[in-house]
Amino acid sequence: MSMRALRLTLLAVVALPALVDCSCDDQLQGLPTPNIEILDDAGNSHLTADPWLKVDFGDADSGQQQQRMLTLKNIGTGQLEVLSMCVVAAADVEAARTAPCILGAAPFTFASVVGQVAKAEETMTFAVTFSPLAGGPVSLFLQVGSTAKEEPVAAVELVGRGTDGRLCAEPSGIIDFGQVAVGVTEASTVTLRNCGVKPVAIETMAFAQNPDQAFTFTPQGGDPIGRTLNEGDTVVLDLTFTPQQAGPYRDARAGDIAITTAAPFAAQYDLLLLGDGVIPPACKINVVPETLNFNAVASGTTQTRQIIIQSVGQCGCTIDGIAGPTPDTTGFAFPVGELPAAYPVVLRGTVGCDGDPAGADGAPTNLTLDVTYTSPVRDIPEVDRATVTVTVSDQAEPSQVVNLEANGGGAPYCQLRVEPVYTPSFGFGQTTGRYGLVEFGRTSVHTVKRLPITITGVGNADCQVSSLEYDHPTNTVNNEFSLENADGTPAIPSAAFTVSPGITKTLFAVFSPTHTIDNASPISFTFGSYSGSIPPGDDDIARALMCGGPISGPNASCNGVTFVTDDLRTDLTDSGQDPGVYSVGFAGTPVEPDVDVIPPELDFGLVTLDCGSPTMRTTLYNNGGDGLRVLAPIVDPATNPETFRVMGTNNPTGAWPFTVNPGASLSIDVRYYARQQTIESANLLVPTELSDGNAGPPVTVPLRGEGTTDTFQTDIFDQFSDPKVDVLWVIDDSGSMSGFQDLLAANFPQFFTLSGVEDADYHIAVTTTLWADDTCMAGPGSCSVDADCGAGGQCIMGLCTAGDAANSCDDHEMAGWYTACDPARGHYISPASSTPQADFGCNVRVSDSGNVNPNRPSSDSAEGGLRAAMKFLSPPLIDDANANGGFLRDDAKLHIIFVEDEPEQSKGGVDQYIDFFKNVKGFRNEGLVAVSAIAAPPEGCTYTDSSGASVQLQDDRYHVVVDELNGRFQSICNEDWTGMMSQLGLDSMGLRIEFFLSRAAQPDAIDVCVRATPSSSCVAQTETSEGAANGWFFDPATNSVVFNGSSVPPRGGRIEVSYGTACYP
């Protein structure tokens, strides 16, 4: 028995005699119990007000204040302690009791009495101040938590009105059109009212963002520009939404009407227009491919290909006839018995509709037909053509034609098409001695980039690849290039393999740099890049000079592979190689990540053939000190029809070249269109331009998707079984933090024991907020306001953290390293730790340099918790067993917690770190990551330091990240950490409630069931709506299934989601 359990047992034994022979209710009722009453300065009580107490502050101009006094009275018999106070937004007093505190600036402030105690009948009086932030009426509630027995959380309403002229949108500034069929127009209206007192004039009104020009607005009564609105005057806007493609028009694709008003009440207002484009329920048939190419077929021989007729709409369809091949004299034919014996042939839809053809529920979703081509006997090849016409019930395309082509005749021959082919189209560097070139472009060290090499048989006979080797392997391997098969296994050494006509073999060139180039060769000029150039032929002297040898050693050139084939038809003379010898070079520029790309690759997963995927986004973040000049993003190689398509960017100018300023970013949206029933790959390429106008190394993002004929999908998810959590504490190590670190250590039991973390499979690590050297701090110069930092500027603590003058310091070599008082006891705390509480209490006291191991300087010059966390969780540290390796586990929840009393000063904007944290567990797993902070709030706070001085603190960045990543925020000035620490522990232990689907789902075709254990029966779950007490709902913006309240799957449960897949045009 533990000492804690023994103590409770003894207490129970001692107390028992006192309760024998008594009325327990009487005994308990006789105990002292505190209760609370809130009174305004007119004596009105919240206990008797109907429906609740409303404290009216009246009108106030900007810069003016109105003040009222409130009193808390203990009307009970026991001691009353105030535990919490904050301002909340709520519709009524009941909602106000449970509403979250407002973290940012609020028009009502108060003198806190948290921690004060009142005996029976005693009172606590404090001032509440109304300082309007804008014109118009304001209504918030003051929420008071206490030890009151009957009403532990009480609330009163605070109301006032700012007199400045101000525009208010009615009914809301967010207009959601909901689901609208593609090409169909939905209408709505919004009213703009001067909800202030003084007149306000409209200066401009225009779209700041309107993707696909899907939204429109028309002011009723004519152009409102220049119009002055007196109190209560209105302007009504007629709105429309006509989606041009399926998918959400939300977040980055929302419509935004920007409205500005003139001085003296100059301001910008944004009306956000939202909606979802959906494919209307209908029969839709795709016949693929559009052109069925047999390529070269030897005289008198036969090849077989396939046509797929596929139902991809929500409703069932019929195939009403298949005619052809026409003409029937060209060698094309359907094998005997291949065509349906009778028509119509029914195909099932992805959802099912009223009026579907009979038998649709049990019908297949596609029909696959073999087509043969037999070449006429002839010595000279000729092109033969024919067509097949498929008649279907798809009203949009009732007749669809497949073109058949073949180049028949002649003797058998082997020929290959190898891609990529080298073309110096971007002007960066020159490659010699190569047929093809894989250009990795800028690649951040400690990242892995994979790009495809495809070998396709285009002759009429099998081709043999007899050998596959690295060119000058001392260079290629040492320079961290390699070649892999599609399954990730090494492709070298490789046995000989065959490539048949019409078949594609895909290999992947891999670049995984761990360092930038250290050019030690006196005769090699790399300019920071690895080159694929190699001397043509077998000139050993030239190779010794260019590729290095006994004198100069290996260098940065001659990276690539060579494979020997029996293809003697392809002209390889330009590459200087012998017939049949293909040489493909590798080139790349390893860089310290001044340009971060998040996510670094886009994998679209499975997409139905001839359909489009949802849009995916990647973002380039410029962390350097100079502007990054880029050209328009393109897909390489380009295909017709397009396999991958750049849908747009956030370049506000629309003109190229475009400069991405330091601290700024460029987002690029891409879609995938499935053209083949196989894995398809390409490269998103963003060309760059150097300051002298010459081409720089491009930024490359690998693209990948896979075509499939399956229109139904079942995703299986496992709920957390035994709780497993990885917790990273990022703690400011400046001298001012010593007292806060003591608080953190003292409250560890709240986090660890009371919340149950100690019973979980936990990893608890600590790092400091160090990210840059002291010597770099002078680099950006000082600043007083954001404008001092140039375009996109942000000035924090006299330091530019974004803008033209942005802090572009290199990361300190110890940034993100774990710290532990005794590394021999482990780099992080785990269930194997014998004294976890003592270890934590020591590890978090990082202001004591003796506790920080490995040793590093303090972060006093620029505390950057976001950057430090990013470094901790990134290669090489997270993969290095001597550093942070072993901490992060794929199947554990990750909780990052920042504790800092200074403004967050990492380089770059917060969006970069939000993107990184959301992707650290992989795409569609952001629900496994939470970020919390005990830090300075945006509205600022004050605390008294150890010397008795009053210290003002303020930060804007941490709470933005916390809001985006499922976390909690507490002001570091609040000395009561017990509740926060307990909640952080409970959050770390939380179950998954959101499950991201692997393919785009039809919202009306989703079935969800849950197994209590993987082997038990699957119980169907009820679809409800967001905020319901139970059930689940589908979130189209994130393509996820989310469980409500009591329906969250239990630990160890298995979730099965079956759905029809969406086909985006």
Domain with CATH 2.60.40.10 in the chain: 36-162, 167-278, 285-408, 416-591, 595-710
Angle of helix 865-872 relative to helix 957-964, nearest 10 degrees? 50
Sign of the CA dihedral with 776 first, then 777, 780, and 781 last:
negative
Q: What is the dihedral of CA 670, 674, 678, 684, to 10 degrees?
A: -20
- The residues of the chain that CATH labels 3.40.50.410 are 724-773+809-990
- For residue 942, give the 3-state DSSP assignment: strand
Nearest to 376 by CA among 406, 402, 408, 404: 408
Q: Kind of pairing, strands 616-622 and 267-278?
A: unpaired
DSSP 823: G
Looking at domain 285-408, its CATH superfamily turns out to be Immunoglobulins (2.60.40.10)
DSSP 45-94: BTTTSSSS-EEEEEEE-TT--EEEEEEEEE-SSS-EEEEEEEEE--SSHH
Q: What is the pTM of this model?
A: 0.72
Q: Indicate the pairing of strand 463-470 with strand 497-499.
A: antiparallel
167-278 belongs to which homologous superfamily? Immunoglobulins (2.60.40.10)
Closest to 896 in 3D by CA, of 948, 949, 967 = 967
The DSSP-derived string for 133-188 is: SSSEEEEEEEEEEE--SS-SEEEEEEEEEE-S--EEEES-SEEEEEEEETT--EEE
Longest Cα–Cα distance in the chain: 115
Q: Which pLDDT score, from 0 to 100, does residue 939 have?
A: 77
595-710 to CATH, choices 3.30.70.940, 3.40.50.300, 2.60.40.10, 2.30.30.40: 2.60.40.10
DSSP string, 986-1012: HHHTPPP-EEE-SSPEEEEEEEEEEES
Residue whose tokens read 């390893």 = 590
| Whole-number Å distance between alpha carbons of 772 and 868 | 9
Tokens of 151: 């009403």
Closest to 143 measured CA to CA, from 100, 81, 80, 79 = 100
Give residues with Cβ within 8 angstroms of 305, minimum separation 6.
Answer: 292, 293, 294, 370, 371, 373, 502
Q: Which of 702, 914, 782, 707 is nearest to 288 (CA)?
A: 707
Q: How far apart are the first and last CA of the chain?
A: 67
Q: What's the rounded Cα separation, in Å, for the pair 983 and 169? A: 37
d(CA 890, CA 542): 49
Residue 563, CB-side half-sphere exposure with 13 Å CA sphere: 26
The tokens describing 850, both together, are 């003796």
429's tokens: 């560097």
Q: How many CB atoms lie within 10 A of CB 893?
A: 23
Q: Exposed e or buried b for every residue in 300-339, given b needs 16+ CB within 10 A?
A: eeebebebbbbbbbbbbbbbeebebbeeeebbbbbeeeee
Residue 12 CA to residue 17 CA, distance in Å, equals 10
139 and 162 Cβ atoms separated by less than 8 Å: no
CA distance 102 to 100: 7
Task: State how far the Cα of 230 lies from the Cα of 606, in Å rounded to an integer.
Answer: 57
DSSP state of 321: E
- Tokens read off for 695: 């081409």
Count the helices and strands in the chain (H runs, E runs): 12, 63
Q: At how many degrees (to 10) do helices 957-964 and 910-919 cross?
A: 30
Helix (H) or strand (E) holding 730: strand 724-731
Residue 357 gets which letter from DSSP? P
Rg (CA), the chain: 34
Secondary-structure class of domain 724-773+809-990 per CATH: alpha beta
- The strands making up 481-485's β-sheet, listed across from edge to edge, are 416-419, 449-457, 504-511, 481-485
CATH number of 416-591: 2.60.40.10
The partner residues of 98 in beta bridges, in order of sequence, read none
**Bridge-partner residues for 444, per DSSP?**
591
- Per the CB < 8 A criterion, the answer to whether 479 and 443 are in contact is no
| DSSP per-residue codes, 571-628 | --GGGTPPTTEEEEEEEEEEE-SSEEEESSSEEEEEEETT-BPPPEEEEEEE-SSS-E
**Record: fold of 36-162:** Immunoglobulin-like (2.60.40)
HSE (side-chain half, CA atoms, 13 Å) at 659: 13
HSE value, Cβ hemisphere, 13 Å, CA-based, for 537? 7
210 phi and psi, to 5 degrees? -155, 80
Cα separation, 1052 vs 1056, in Å, equals 13
**Averaged in consecutive runs of 10 residues, what is the pLDDT profile of the chain (1065 residues)?**
33 34 45 92 95 95 91 95 89 89 81 90 95 89 93 95 91 91 93 92 93 94 94 96 87 89 90 89 92 92 94 94 94 96 95 92 94 95 96 94 95 93 58 82 84 92 93 87 91 90 91 77 52 69 65 73 94 87 91 82 92 90 83 90 91 88 87 91 89 81 92 90 87 87 85 76 93 58 65 61 60 92 93 91 90 88 89 92 93 90 85 89 74 87 77 86 86 80 71 87 90 92 88 86 87 92 86
How far, in Å, CA of 743 to CA of 847, rounded?
13
Is there a contact between 110 and 101 (Cβ–Cβ < 8 Å)? no
Residue 159 burial class via C-beta count within 10 angstroms: exposed 0-12, middle 13-18, buried 19 and up: middle
- Alpha helix stretches (DSSP H) within 248-375: none
- What is the sign, positive or negative, of the torsion defined by CA atoms of 622, 625, 627, 628? negative
Burial class (CB in 10 A: 0-12, 13-18, 19+), 758: middle
